[in-house]
Each structure stands twice: as C-alpha cells, then as structure tokens.
Structure 1
Amino acid sequence: MLLTRRKLGTAGLILLMLIFMVILSGCGKKSNAEIVPGKVNVVTSFYPIYEFAREIGGDEANVTNLLPTGVEPHDWTPRSKEILNTSKAQLFLYHGAGLEGWVPNFLKGLGSDAVVKPVEVSQGVSLITAEGDDGHHHGEEAAEHEDHNEGSEAAAESSHHIDPHTWVSPKSAKIIAENIKNSFIEVDPDHQADYESRYAELAKKLDDLDAKFSTELAGTNKKEIVVSHQAFGYLCRDYGLTQHAIMGLSPDAEPRAQDIVALSKTVQEEGIQYIFFEELVSDRLAKTLANEAGVKTLVLNPVEGLTKEQEKNGENYFTLMEKNLQNLLLALQ
C-alpha cells in the first residue's frame, strides 16, 4: 500500500513538473510572440495602419498592432511591455499629425540601441487645421509633423489644432499606404517587387473606393452632416461635404451648452434628418441632440479601430467605408 502511494506520489510529481514546464514554455512563447525571426517585424500604432501594413507586407512581414480591439485610440497609452517589443522590431509605423500624443515619449523610451525605424505615415498628406481645443495636448508631435509639411502656418496658432483623421478619406489613405510600402522597401530591399505589387493592389482598391465616393456623393441634394466627433474633415474636404461636430477633434472634448443649441438650429435650418454617431465612443450626446431636434441617428465610422464583433465578422477598412458611404447617401438624399 505504501509503495503504491509512493508510486502515485512520484507519478503525480512528474505530472506536475511536466505541466509546469508546459506553462513555462507557453509563457516564453507568449512574451516573444510579437517578434518572428526571418520576417520584417512591424509594430503599428492603430488599426488602419495595421491593416495596410499587413496587406503590403504579406508573407514577408509579421505585423503587430499596439492598440487592442475595441479601444478608441485618442486616449490609449502604451505600457513598458509595448515599448520593449517595439524596440526589437524593424519598423514602428505611427500616424502622427497629433493623433498619438504618447509617441514622443514612446520614441525616447525605445533607447539608443534599438534597431527599430520609426515612420510617421501621414507625411505628405495636406493637413487640415481646426479651431478649438482637441482635448489632448498634442502640440509637440503635431509641431514635429509641421516641420515636414508646408503651408500650415495656422497650425502654430494656439487656437488651431491639426486634424489628425487623414485616413478617413481614401485619397489620404493612399498616401499613407505608399509611405508604408516605401518603409518596407527601405528595411527589406530584397523583396521590393513583392511590396510594390501588393501596394499596387491596395492602391487600386483605394482608387476604386475614392471614385465611388466621388461619383455617388456628387449626386446628393444635401451636403451638410452633423457628427458626434470632428473626425471627418478630410472626407468632407475631398467629397464636397461640410461637417458640424458636437464634440471637437477628440471624442471626449465636452461641448458647451450654446454649441448644442446652435447645432440644433443648424439641423432644423438645413433640414438634416440624421445625426451621426460612432461605435467606439458614447452615443449619448448624439442621441440627446437627435431627440431635441426630432431626427434619427446613424453610424458614421471614423475607422479608428474595430469592435470585437466587427473583428469577429471579418470587417475591415473597406467594408466599413462602404457602410459609411451608404449611410451618407441615406442621410444626404
């Protein structure tokens, strides 16, 4: 009996040791999951850059997105683990133009021995400046962007802020995609033809989307939209629309009472039938304004990230932008 117990005890100990080794090996794999030897390891700051980098990088790239699913990018900040993993990658692709207020400190935290090449992918986009406070003090990063973009002196004025939501227009998204392609070629010139080929496919899809927005929005009777968050400046500029935002450039910049009153008046004067809201931020103010003005609500997605449900359903930049177009056509008829 004693021998049997001893045998069971030994067997149990061996089993426990095996389980412990499996757990340890699992932990090791998990901590290094972001870096894959033999591939171009790329870290992106938020969803649209992640999607474009995966399309262009193809099999040659291992792309990791910093921003978790379902999180709005304006208020997210990285942890030390993200800084460590990024320092081991070949590319860190971020948007810039003031979107990620954490980037300057993040870049300093990478350390002088880091091999990663940081790339601001909005370079070359003709930037829009907007009046009012964006709710985040992004001046440092925005000012750095301005050194590379001409004709935006107004952005230096304290009452003006750069609108960072460039990717919401397919025209600007194509510039971003080209910058991503060029960054891949710079760190991995041996696969230039592959990157060029995949970029050409992505650029064609963006051109087709651009043409569809141009053609279909040109035929609408109305041109004014009311949105919860001032994220559609580039879309409006490129397709002849005007946005009226309940909140500022940041989705948590609280509006003043007189702003709501003025917007309610605009809704009535312009015959606006829909107030647009977003899925990643609260729809409270949009629904309040809609109730006051006696109108309906619709989704207009700034494509800053996917919800968990959208990710599960295989949604992407193009499917979300197609839905945006259909909702715009409904609201502007």
Structure 2
Amino acid sequence: MFKYVLPASLLLSVSAFAQTQVVTSVKPVSMIVSAIGGEHIEVQQLVSNQASPHDFAMRPSDLRKLDQADLVVWVGESLETFMEKPLANLSAKKDLEWMALNDAFLREFGDKEAHNHDEHHEDHDHDEHHEDHDHDEHHEDHDHDERHEDHDHDEHHEDHDHDEHHEDHDHDEHHEEHGHEGHDHSGTDPHVWLDPVNAKVLAKAVTERLISIDPEHKQDYQTNFQAFMSSVEHADHDVAERLAGVAEVPYFVFHEAYGYFENHYGLNNKGAIALSPERKPGAKTVAHIREEIEEHNVSCVFSEPQFSPAIVETLIDGTNVKTAVLDPLGTNVELGADSYAMFLTGLADQYISCLK
C-alpha cells in the first residue's frame, strides 16, 4: 500500500504554524511569557535588549507583528507609551496589560515603605498588597477606558516630563528644593517586574490566557506555571537572605527605576542621578548630588547598560565612591524556564558587588 510521507521541511512548517504567536514589549515580559508558554509559543519582543522602552518608536514591521499576534503582553502605557494607540486600533482586543491586572502591586514614585519580608516569604500571600482582589475576575476583559481612571499615566508622565524636566535650571530648582529622596517623578511607578510578587501575578494571567487560546496544551501550561512559581519563590528567599547583609549601605542609582526591588528587599537608596533617563542633569544638580553623596556617605553609584555612564564617572571622579552597573531589563539573561529567577539573582549580584 502506497504511503505518502510529508517532507521534513513541511512538517517543520506545520509545527511552527501551530505555535501560538505572542508579542511582548520588553525583556522581563518575555522572560515570564517564555517560561509559561515553553515550546508551544513563539515570542517576538518589540524593544531590543540593548534599547530603552522610554524612547522606543514603533516601525511598520512592529505594527504587523501586533496585527498577526494571538496575544500581546506589555507592562503599561506609562512605560510603553508607543503601545497604547496601535493596540487600540487593532480589530480585536488581544492584549494583556501587566499594570492593569487587579492583583498587580503598584507603588507610587517616592514611596520608600518596604514590604514585610517575613510575611512575603512565609505566606506568599498577596492580600497585604491587593486587598483581596480575585485573580479570576479580571484577566479576560479589561477595558482600556475604565482601567486607568485611577492613574492616568499619559498625563503625569508626558506632561510632567515636558513641563519640568527639559531645562537644566528646572532640574536644579527641583533638587535644591526637594532633594533626591522625593524624586521628580510622580504617579505610578511602571517598573513592576522588579517585584517578584508581580512576576507571579503576570505568570498566572499569562497561563490563563494561553489556556484560553490553546486549550489543547492546558496541562503543559499549568505544569510550567507551577515550575515558574517554585523557581521564583526559591530565588526570592535566596536573594532576600543575601541582600540582608548590605541592606543598610547607602547608594545612588542612575534613574528612579528600582523602587519595587528596593522596597521588597529593604535596600537603602539615597537618590537618583537623572530625573528622567533621557535627560542629563545640569551643572548645579551635579554639584548638589556630589554634596549629597558626601552627606549620606554613599558608597556606590550605579549606572545602567541602556544609558551612557559618563555622568556617573563625572560624579565620582576624585572620590572613593565605587560604581557598578545595574541592569533593570536583564539584558544578558537567556530566555528559558528559569529566566526570571536568574534575573532576580543577577540583579542581587550586581547590588552586592558594589555595596559589600
């Protein structure tokens, strides 16, 4: 009996076609999505690992990716302003916005109140942050118009940036009046991926959405979710123990991006160099920061791989202050089942390398 065997190339094509197409905005989102989806999804990330989401611009090829995707996962419009309009113009709603998830823990810029580590690590209970929101109520049908009434990101980031940040004298006046511990940012901090509590929240939402899109592989997604949760909890415990030894050491960061991580682990950030990552501080601000470095006995000033470290070198020149690189996007972390856990551990290593 004659049997027709499909060519290997066609089999590969069919297999690739069967994968769920997921577009992500930034690397931390890709880490979590890849861990849950595994071999059943293809991830296309919009912002390259070497770029910053703060100044990214969509290309026609990016718009095509959004149009062809089965699912789009992003952080929120206050981080990725470039996403809001293209998503609104899609014929079908297929996005998952991290900051819009009911159980996501959102902090305000300048809020330095740390979480209780013991409660976090022993119970892994989101109640302290989320006031008993129900995970299952919110994942399917977010409404773009309703979900941002409490924190209109566009207003306080675009207007604040243009009105108060552009000119050096505005930087200087603000620093002299308020210092660094208040920071010029206002509103909700979009760097939600730096708190492992939020990583678990997105992982659950992604799991539910992938099961909805691809129910055939439900068991695999659930297994991947459980493995992810275990991996993150283990890394969270380990990082908390290791960072406890440097928790009181004062330092400066390049820009105000690490509040979730710092609050979660109780670190001692004394200020940010740049009020916004796209703008360098003026001469008066530089002098003021150097005064604060001396006043607070700052031992380290951190830079970032996505931005020029030249201003950091200027600030510490002639002092005994050390410098190191903090990478809030996990640039060099390879995507895989344990990517996010590796990201947490790697970021802790970066802190410890300069604070010890």
TM beyond 0.5? yes
Q: How far is 1:291 from its partner?
A: 1.2
Distance 1:246 1:213, change over 3 A: same
Any conservation in 2 of the 1:171–1:207 contact (CA below 8 Å)?
no
Divergent runs of 4+, >3 A: 141-149, 155-159, 256-259, 315-321, 330-333
Taking the TM superposition and a 5 Å limit, the aligned residue runs for 1:1-333 are 36-96=16-76, 98-110=78-90, 112=91, 114=92, 117-122=94-99, 123=101, 124-130=103-109, 146-147=148-149, 160-220=186-246, 222-243=248-269, 244-248=271-275, 250-291=276-317, 293-303=319-329, 306=331, 316-333=339-356
Structure 1 residue aligned with 2:119: none
Deviations 1:110-161 (A, max 9, x none): 3x2x4x6111023232212226xxxxxxxxx999654478xx9xx7996723
CA RMSD of aligned residues (A): 3.3
Between 317-326 and 168-177, the greater mean CA deviation after superposition:
317-326
List per-residue Cα deviations over 1:146-189 (Å, max 9, x = no partner): 4478xx9xx79967232111112323222222222222122223
Q: TM-score, normalised by structure 2?
A: 0.69
Structure 1 residue runs of 5 or longer lacking an equivalent are 1-32, 132-140
- Rg (Cα) greater in structure: 1
The separation in 2 between residues aligned to 1:320 and 1:231, in whole angstroms, is 15
Residues 168 and 211 (structure 1 numbering): CA distance in 2 closer, same or farther, change over 3 Å? same
Count of aligned pairs between the two proteins: 280
Higher RCO (CA < 8 A, seq sep 6+):
2
User: Does the 8 Å contact 2:20/2:40 carry over to 1?
Assistant: yes
Q: Quote the Cα distance in structure 1 between the aligned partners of 2:317 and 2:309.
A: 12
With structure 1 as the length reference, what TM-score do the two structures score?
Answer: 0.73
Relative distance call for 1:186 and 1:143 in structure 2 (3 A) is same
Alpha-carbon displacement from aligned partner over 1:42-85 (angstroms, at most 9, x marks no partner): 11111111122111111221221112342222111211222122
Question: Would the alpha carbon gap of residues 175 and 221 (structure 1) be closer, same or farther in structure 2, given more than 3 Å must change?
Answer: closer
Identity of aligned residues (%): 27
Structure 2 unmatched ranges of 5 or more: 1-12, 111-142, 161-184
Instruction: Tell whether the 8 Å contact from 1:267 to 1:293 is kept in structure 2 after alignment.
Output: no
Could you tell me how far 1:238 is from its partner in structure 2?
A: 0.7
